[in-house]
Structure 1
Amino acid sequence: MSAKPQINWLRQPKRESDNVLLEKAITLFGQDRLPEAIAPLERYLGLHPNHYEAVHLRAEIALKQDDLDGAIKGFTKAISLQPLKGQTYYNLGIALQQRGNFNEALRLYDMALDLKHSPNKVLNNRGYILRKTKRYDEALATFNALLEQDPQFLQAYINRSGTFLRLHRLQEALADCDTALSIDKNYVDAWFNRGFISSEALDYRSAMQSYEEVLKRNPSHWKAKFALSLRSLALADFSNGWQQYEVRFLETSLGIKKLNMPIPEWDGTASIEGKRVLVYFEQGLGDTLQFCRFVPRLADLGAEVWLMVQPALHTLIESLDPRLNVVSGGQLPVIDFVLPLMSLPRVLQINDEQEFGTDCYLSAPAYVVSEWQAALGEKRTPRIGLTWSGNAKHQNDHERSLSLTTLLPHLPTGLEYVVVQKDLRDEDAALLANQTTHTIRQLPKEDFADTAALCQNLDLVISVDTSVAHLAGAVGCPLWVLLPFNPDWRWQLERCDSPWYGESRLWRQPNYGDWNGILTELGQQLQRQFLGGENLAPV
């Protein structure tokens, strides 16, 4: 008889100890001390593996630590334990949204709404996914419903402003930012979005004022500092712009990193005569093609220069200057100084566009040019190169690229068109294979030396703002660049020429998102320049 009470007495402290473990984990989680919270929580789960709150908390910690696999697994188990908890569906939706599984995330958000869990937060996330997946009208309806329920929900104004922007409704996008600021004048996201949208409207003065307001409230807001640097460069204020542009390494979302080597970075003051300097690429292919022009100036100062480039550019950039040692990997000699490629204008104090140099500074190997001449065959009509889209993952691809469906009706027949871009999107490939109105050739290309050789066999390259534009300009091919209403900083504003490429003409959208306006004019100019002005109506 005495054994049973004894067992109960032994178990009671254990249960209390278990609760202490869970309470400790909850407290540490609330203090954002995640690594410390894991140990007591894991001990508790070892004793109670199916305790809903503990399983859910472990999944929340995984989500905060960017362990998406752990979060998805944990929230899924929590749903199996308590299938009527809307919070769990919401959190699992967040994990799947971060994974990029948008359709499943939407399904889970809808289930959270059915269970009446934080409908405003759920609607806000739901609208964000709809915008992300280009379902703009549905996104707008979602944000409208949310703001009708809660007119004080600040983040919804910012997300709706982004939706208006995608719909090219800039004034309404700005109005949403202003409404958010009327509720909270210190709302940094609203000031930043206002700066971005003002830039898209080419109101750079207002944009820069908005970014300054961001920095008044958050002096370490690197995105705002980076945006200010781009505005300075676009306005040709190179003296300040190059200095400001160094902030690119501090804005982690850009993914721009310095080379991890225990070697001093050359700041432009120390003598580099007889020194070995490594200049390394830091961003995209187009950036390397544009800025490599400055590297020989280090050799002019007496340095032994090593230039690290992307493998796809290696062969082509070997033509830049015989004094350079061009590499794309492998063992390096002992280096005295390093320098990121796009910091060269700053350290060399190149603040006047007349110092950029617009002459042809790259060329494909002669034998590759001859091979492409043979591959193209006898020329019976002018040859025009086409690049209408760039990297689909580029953050501004929705504005800078267009579809072949949009471009093709504006191109006059009677010319031989050659596809210069390497990759085609599925819908463009299908149209190219089935269209019968134009002569459009597509030939396989291995690397940028091939693409350069192709360009050197063309009468003109027409390109959106992608690496092909910089390639054609660097090899001296006549170039027409199609630019969105708010172009990248390097094309500046208003002018139709470029300080970077002497043989270029810039075609700018007359209104936000309006390709048809410039494409109609471009087609007519092609007709006049290459076909004598006949048959001016596009096909």
Structure 2
Amino acid sequence: MKKIISPSKIQKLLKESHLYCQAGKFNEAKLIYQELLKAIPSHPDVLTNLGTIELQSGNIHAGINYLEKSIKINPIQPRAISNLGNAFLELKKNIEAINYYDLAIKMDGCFPEAYYNKARALKTSQKYPEAISNYQQAIKYNPRYFEAFLNLGFIYNELKDFTKAHEQYDFAISINPQSSEAFYNRGIVYENMGEHVKALTDYDIATKLNPNNFYAFNSKGLLFNQMKDFNNALLNFDCAIKINPNFFNGYMNKGHIYEEIKDFTKALEQYNFAINLNPGNSEIFFSKGLIFKQMKDFSSAIFNFDCAIKANPSFFLAILNKALLILQLNDYKNGWQLYESRWETTQEKCFLRTLKPKLEDLSIIKKNILIWAEQGIGDQILYGTLIKEMIKSPNMFIISVDPKIKDLFERSFKGKSNLRFLSNLESINESLYDFHLPLGSLGKFFRNSINDFQFQPFSYLLPDSNKTTHLMKKIKNVKKFTCGISWMSKSERIGSEKSLNLNQLIPILRLPNIDFIDLQYGDTKVEKKSLLNDFNIEVRSFDEIDNFNDIDGLACLISTCDFIVTISNVTAHIAGALGKKVFLILPYSGIGRLWYWHEGINNSLWYPSIQIFEQTEARDWSAPIIQIREKVIEEISYD
């Protein structure tokens, strides 16, 4: 039996519940609406308001039920219909949500909330132009619609239209200058525009307006990290974690900084905190694997790479790093198999587009096989050590290489009837070959154990004899030895990890009776002039040879030298392939230690004339330089 309430009582309760809603006291309002529902179960306002409260309380399905009942009783309720759209948007049913918003707008074309919420649904679906249009409609009917300006700023930032994004956040801040969120987001835009000082200012304001805005502290930390101000970066990450002890990214970001400054113990500590929060995150295990590799704890590195791969079997960068480490440890059979994962990573995007099959078996005969260039010049020279074995197969081979080394390779393999070289800048008709293979995949056919390196040639490149003779006349002093030196790598990714400055070689450069020849590519004039002025040490250069572009000429210059001192760069590969005595300086470990300079062997397997001298501690070049100095003394004393 219905509870009877007088009309005046009903109006009083409706007014009272409305006031409760305005004050955010939804539980009190809900109790009144439930009481009213017993008396007037078909009252659309009661059903609508009760449904709206349920939505705001997170009871989505209950809210939908009340709203649908209300609309069935009174179909002309744009706000109820719009709220029903909100419910479906919460359930990630964007199409249904947009249909309800359209219906509400059809009933009330000046309804800013309906436009705003429709824009939210469109934004979630990444339909940015339509979302922008609807946010603008919302602002048209409510010029101080703060949230609409915020969301417009977000979209323009996503579209990299930073000027418009900045403009929207300016409007939002003018409406609500106490909004931490608005300043935080404008800071992101400033950062994207490269205006770091302004970004930091906005992040500071955001944290002052809301000291619990851990995202703003995190963004400050990331910006300081980018500016290499690691102390301030760590302070801000600590603030973010203090506010939210479960902030996974805070621990990860701290770990990255400690990894950058080579404090591996603290880095691992942070990554372990992150693992406790998210034990299924593959990135953490990958980061730990990289650290253990730098610490030369190779079994722990492989274990963590395996954990990363188990958490995400498609984590090809982890698979590739495991491959490179296994190859570095001379497990070639397993390493080559995993090395094929390089084509699935963002680091390698040059895989040959062809309909022809990839070469999987060299037992085939009388076929045309394209071996195509990949990676850098040094890598191509390294894999070139396998060409003599490859062409013993009764097939025809076309090999593409960097144009800088094409002449050098053609001369070195002159007279081989089943072999020709192309520049990798040339296109090649598919009709000319039956199978193809990337150059870096040759190893799996010829080098599956250390024993296979017994077939490694001591040298295989031949310099231009006329040019070498010409240079020899200019360089050679019969009373002195000639030592070529190279000390820098220009690689953006790993160059700094394996490079020295010229002054660090002074213990070697001070040795008597040696002419030092500049084999370094790039502009070295300032360093050499400083060395001459400060220490009276001359490193000779020959302007007729462009050490970067004229690789054939560089090979001739290297050939004139009695021995070479170099870091891991193109010079090392050329000198090793020429069979020159090379003293190679390597970092302890880390990204600057490339896999083919293996572990535990002092002479290169790939280039038998190269002797390896590595750091005994990370970032300390003194030990290998002193060791090489002693070897050079032996060399010149013996001769």
Name the structure 1 match of 2:586.
483
For the 8 Å contact 2:372–2:400, the answer to whether it is kept is: yes
Identity of aligned residues (%): 22
In the alignment, is residue 160 of structure 1 matched against residue 257 of structure 2?
no
Name the structure 1 match of 2:397.
305
Name the structure 2 match of 1:242.
336
- In structure 2, the CA distance between the partners of 1:78 and 1:512, relative to structure 1 (3 Å rule), is same
In the alignment, is residue 366 of structure 1 matched against residue 366 of structure 2?
no
Task: Please report how far the alpha carbon of residue 379 of structure 1 lies from its aligned counterpart in structure 2 after TM superposition.
Answer: 5.2
Q: 1:452 aligns with which of 555, 558, 565?
A: 555
Task: Please report how far the alpha carbon of residue 99 of structure 1 lies from its aligned counterpart in structure 2 after TM superposition.
Answer: 7.2
* Counterpart secondary structure, 2:565: strand
Name the structure 1 match of 2:606.
500
Matches of 1:495 and 1:14, distance apart in 2: 78
Task: Please report how far the alpha carbon of residue 199 of structure 1 lies from its aligned counterpart in structure 2 after TM superposition.
Answer: 0.7
In the alignment, is residue 15 of structure 1 matched against residue 110 of structure 2?
yes
Task: Please report how far the alpha carbon of residue 26 of structure 1 lies from its aligned counterpart in structure 2 after TM superposition.
Answer: 1.1
Name the structure 1 match of 2:34.
none
Q: 1:81 aligns with which of 171, 195, 208?
A: 171
For the 8 Å contact 2:118–2:134, the answer to whether it is kept is: no
| Deviating more after overlay: 396-405 vs 467-476 | 396-405
Task: Please report how far the alpha carbon of residue 479 of structure 1 lies from its aligned counterpart in structure 2 after TM superposition.
Answer: 1.0
Matches of 1:363 and 1:106, distance apart in 2: 57
Q: Deviations over 1:230-279 (max 9, x none)?
A: 12111111111000000111112x134311223222122672x3322221
In the alignment, is residue 280 of structure 1 matched against residue 377 of structure 2?
no
Matches of 1:369 and 1:107, distance apart in 2: 61
Name the structure 2 match of 1:178.
272
Name the structure 1 match of 2:509.
411
RMSD over equivalenced CA pairs, Å: 3.2
Matches of 1:426 and 1:42, distance apart in 2: 58
Rg larger in structure: 2
Q: Deviations over 1:203-252 (max 9, x none)?
A: 01011111111122222111211111112111111111000000111112
Name the structure 1 match of 2:536.
437
State the TM-score, normalized to the length of structure 1. Answer: 0.85
Matched AA of 2:373:
F
* Counterpart secondary structure, 1:57: helix
For the 8 Å contact 2:358–2:437, the answer to whether it is kept is: yes
For the 8 Å contact 1:239–1:349, the answer to whether it is kept is: no
Name the structure 2 match of 1:7.
none
Q: Deviations over 1:295-349 (max 9, x none)?
A: 3444322322222222222222223423322323234242322211101122x25
Task: Please report how far the alpha carbon of residue 363 of structure 1 lies from its aligned counterpart in structure 2 after TM superposition.
Answer: 2.3
Greater relative contact order, per chain length (Cα 8 Å cut-off, separation 6+): 1
Name the structure 1 match of 2:452.
355
In the alignment, is residue 263 of structure 1 matched against residue 356 of structure 2?
yes
Name the structure 2 match of 1:537.
none
- In structure 2, the CA distance between the partners of 1:462 and 1:53, relative to structure 1 (3 Å rule), is farther
| Deviating more after overlay: 329-338 vs 405-414 | 405-414
Query: How many residues of Structure 1 are paired with residues of Structure 2 in the alignment?
Result: 512
In the alignment, is residue 381 of structure 1 matched against residue 480 of structure 2?
yes
Matches of 2:369 and 2:212, distance apart in 1: 57
Name the structure 2 match of 1:527.
633
* Counterpart secondary structure, 2:411: coil
Q: Deviations over 1:422-441 (max 9, x none)?
A: 11479746745744431212
Matched AA of 1:279:
I
The residue correspondences of 1:184-223 to structure 2 (distance < 5 A) are: 184-223=278-317
Q: 1:318 aligns with which of 410, 416, 421?
A: 410
For the 8 Å contact 2:155–2:165, the answer to whether it is kept is: no
In the alignment, is residue 330 of structure 1 matched against residue 419 of structure 2?
no
Matches of 1:461 and 1:98, distance apart in 2: 45
For the 8 Å contact 1:418–1:442, the answer to whether it is kept is: yes
Q: Deviations over 1:484-536 (max 9, x none)?
A: 11122111213211101111111111122221222233233333433689xxx
Matches of 2:156 and 2:386, distance apart in 1: 46
Task: Please report how far the alpha carbon of residue 90 of structure 1 lies from its aligned counterpart in structure 2 after TM superposition.
Answer: 4.0
Matched AA of 1:326:
L
| Deviating more after overlay: 417-426 vs 301-310 | 417-426
For the 8 Å contact 2:150–2:168, the answer to whether it is kept is: yes
Matches of 1:520 and 1:156, distance apart in 2: 42
For the 8 Å contact 1:158–1:193, the answer to whether it is kept is: no
Q: Deviations over 1:347-403 (max 9, x none)?
A: x25302343414211122222323432443545422222221202412x33321222
State the TM-score, normalized to the length of structure 2. Answer: 0.72
In the alignment, is residue 38 of structure 1 matched against residue 141 of structure 2?
no
Name the structure 1 match of 2:496.
398
Matches of 2:411 and 2:451, distance apart in 1: 23
For the 8 Å contact 1:26–1:37, the answer to whether it is kept is: no
For the 8 Å contact 2:119–2:135, the answer to whether it is kept is: no
In the alignment, is residue 345 of structure 1 matched against residue 438 of structure 2?
no
Matches of 1:37 and 1:159, distance apart in 2: 31
Matches of 1:405 and 1:104, distance apart in 2: 39
- In structure 2, the CA distance between the partners of 1:295 and 1:63, relative to structure 1 (3 Å rule), is farther
- In structure 2, the CA distance between the partners of 1:429 and 1:326, relative to structure 1 (3 Å rule), is same
Q: Deviations over 1:407-450 (max 9, x none)?
A: 33553242322221211479746745744431212334142112
Q: 2:387 aligns with which of 295, 298, 312?
A: 295
| Deviating more after overlay: 482-491 vs 196-205 | 482-491
Task: Please report how far the alpha carbon of residue 147 of structure 1 lies from its aligned counterpart in structure 2 after TM superposition.
Answer: 3.8
- In structure 2, the CA distance between the partners of 1:73 and 1:437, relative to structure 1 (3 Å rule), is same
- In structure 2, the CA distance between the partners of 1:246 and 1:175, relative to structure 1 (3 Å rule), is same
| Deviating more after overlay: 279-288 vs 156-165 | 156-165
For the 8 Å contact 1:174–1:198, the answer to whether it is kept is: no
- In structure 2, the CA distance between the partners of 1:418 and 1:269, relative to structure 1 (3 Å rule), is closer
Matches of 2:586 and 2:265, distance apart in 1: 21
Q: 1:517 aligns with which of 615, 623, 636?
A: 623
For the 8 Å contact 2:528–2:538, the answer to whether it is kept is: no
Name the structure 2 match of 1:6.
none
Matches of 1:469 and 1:336, distance apart in 2: 35
Unaligned stretches of 5+ in structure 2? 1-104
* Counterpart secondary structure, 1:385: strand
For the 8 Å contact 2:289–2:303, the answer to whether it is kept is: yes
Task: Please report how far the alpha carbon of residue 25 of structure 1 lies from its aligned counterpart in structure 2 after TM superposition.
Answer: 2.8
